[in-house]
Amino acid sequence: MNYSIKLSALLLLGVLSCTNHSNPSNAQVNKVRDITPPKVLMVNSKEHYFSNLKTKDIFKISLIGDSVYSGKILLEVFNHGNKRLFADTFPAFDLLGDLDDSTFSLKHKEDSIKMRMKDFFAEDNFVQPAVTDADSAFWDDNTDMKELEEIKKDTSAIGFVYSHGYEGTYYIGYLKRAKKVVTYLSHD
pLDDT digits (tens, 9 = 90+) for 161-172: 999 887 788 999
Rounded alpha-carbon distances, angstroms, from residue 55 to 40, 50, 94, 150, 174: 28, 8, 31, 22, 14
Residue 11 has pLDDT above 70, yes or no: no
The DSSP code for 140 is -
Residue 164 one-letter amino acid: H
Whether 75 contacts 61, CB under 8 Å: yes
Whether 136 contacts 107, CB under 8 Å: no
Q: Single out the residue of 117, 125, 135 nearest to residue 184, CA to CA.
A: 135
Whether 173 contacts 160, CB under 8 Å: yes
Residue 132 one-letter amino acid: T
The C-alpha atoms of residue 41 and residue 66 are separated, in whole angstroms, by: 8
Residue 82 has pLDDT above 90, yes or no: yes
pLDDT (tens digit per residue) in 98-153: 766 677 899 999 999 999 999 999 999 999 999 887 776 666 666 778 888 899 89
Residue 159 has pLDDT above 70, yes or no: yes
The DSSP code for 38 is P
The DSSP code for 42 is E
Residue 21 has pLDDT above 50, yes or no: no
Residue 25 one-letter amino acid: S
The C-alpha atoms of residue 188 and residue 176 are separated, in whole angstroms, by: 27
The C-alpha atoms of residue 43 and residue 41 are separated, in whole angstroms, by: 7
What is the reported pTM?
0.77
Q: What is the dihedral of CA 165, 169, 175, 179, to 10 degrees?
A: 20
Whether 52 contacts 80, CB under 8 Å: yes
